[in-house]
Amino acid sequence: MIKYFVDAARLAETFRTLVSIDSVSRHEGRICRAILSMMPPIIEKTFIDGAGEPTGSDTGNLILKIKGNRDAVPMMLNAHMDTVEPGVGVKPRYADGVFTSSGDTVLGADDKSAIAIIIEVLRVIHERNLPHGPIDVVFTICEEIGLLGAKHLDFGLVDATFGYALDTYDTKGIVTRAPAANRFEIRVHGRSAHAGADPEKGISAVWVASKAVAGLRLGRIDEETTCNIGEMEAKGATNIVPALVRLRGEVRSHDEGKLDAVTRRIMETFGDTAAEYRRIHHENDSPYIEVDLEQDFPLNRIPETHPVVTTARRAAANLGRDLTPKMSGGGSDANIFFSKGIMTGVLGTGMKDVHTVRESIRLDDMVDAATLLLEIIAVHADGGSP
């Protein structure tokens, strides 16, 4: 094992600078330019792909190519540049080794801690001329709004067939299993009428939608499957029988058969509820249902014997640590990479309470994550990965 010297103070300053730059989804242009200005001369080629136009962002994905000084196959490192709302005007605070925001925005450790770690790792490799194979660094846009950057990534610019995304909290684990997800919008159409004078002439879309939802099993279905309806919206005055309700939700599962079955059950429940109303009330056309259904992201499932896992675990062991394969309930860019044949394990940076104004991260956790990543790169350069 080579002893590495991550510059904790420099890492902290890089992170502080990054989180102070607004980059909510579709507004990643400034952070993209800042990242480029921080990169060491080790970068051989730089690309910004065309993902900005289809995603509506002010920039594309940033892809950096690093030539190896060892004969090894290319490795990918990934993080995303966007943050969630409230993410404008972040004021980072640091006390007792912990970064937080001022309390009225997210911090942006998701995923700028990963970006800062990757920048520090590349700086250390350059300064110490450490052994490394070719590296493709992929910083994506619009991850937080449906992995859109990864979905529109120009994969012709990526040579790696394996790699690591830094986009979870646990620095002692590697996510090897993540679910597939379906996203849906259901529109329940009723018939409007005056709610006080002629309610009998109306068909309440709210009533139909509520009856259908009441017949669903939501939340955790089993250890592999979850289901949620996150939005239910009806617009109009209180004196009008509502004619339209929109519902948006998702199903996630580590089993594609279960994913399809639960999704189908939701669609059937809404359809059957509307049909039952028409039968009981002798209606021909209303209420009726419209559905938009799409795959949000595919499975990520990496065998624990795959070199992307064994390399990381060997690197952790070299550092005197354990690294445990994990199953996650969330999706990430790694799911999209997996579907494109790029085996991608997800490593943690220590970020906590992400997507809330209570978000925080310990500097020591970022240092540990950077050290592990450096050791992974060294093991790979030594012939320890595919």
In terms of Cα–Cα distance, which of 1, 128, 2, 143 is closest to 69? 128
Helix, strand or coil for residue 55?
A: helix
Supply the pLDDT for residue 226. 98
Amino acid making up residue 263: T
| CA geometry: angle 125, 38, 169, nearest 5 deg | 75
Task: Report residue 2's pLDDT band, with 50, 70 and 90 as the boundaries.
Answer: low
Q: Which CATH number fits domain 8-178+299-381: 3.30.565.10, 3.40.630.10, 3.40.605.10, 3.40.50.2300?
A: 3.40.630.10
User: 355: Cβ–Cβ under 8 A, 6 or more apart, which residues?
Assistant: 84, 106, 110
Mean pLDDT, residues 269-278 taken together: 98
Share above pLDDT 70 across residues of the chain, in percent, rounded to a whole number = 98
Give the span between the Cα atoms of 210 and 201, in whole angstroms.
19
Tens-digit pLDDT profile for residues 179-188: 999 999 999 9
Q: Which CATH number fits domain 187-297: 3.90.950.20, 3.30.310.50, 3.30.70.360, 2.60.200.20?
A: 3.30.70.360
Distances (CA, A) of 212 to 218, 221, 266, 277, 322: 12, 17, 9, 11, 47
Distances (CA, A) of 118 to 36, 150, 366: 12, 18, 10
Supply the pLDDT for residue 4. 73
Give the span between the Cα atoms of 122 and 118, in whole angstroms.
6
Mean pLDDT, residues 276-294 taken together: 97
Supply the pLDDT for residue 3. 61
Give the span between the Cα atoms of 260 and 226, in whole angstroms.
12
Share above pLDDT 90 across residues of the chain, in percent, rounded to a whole number = 98
pLDDT for 259 beyond 90: yes
Give the span between the Cα atoms of 208 and 199, in whole angstroms.
15
Query: Domain spans of the chain?
Result: 8-178+299-381, 187-297
| CA geometry: angle 343, 168, 5, nearest 5 deg | 90
pTM of the entire predicted model: 0.92
Mean pLDDT, residues 26-35 taken together: 98
Residues involved in catalysis: 82, 143
**Which neighbouring-strand residues pair with 194?**
240
Supply the pLDDT for residue 383. 84
* Residue 164 · residue 376 · CB < 8 Å: yes
Q: Which residue has the tokens 């279960």?
A: 258
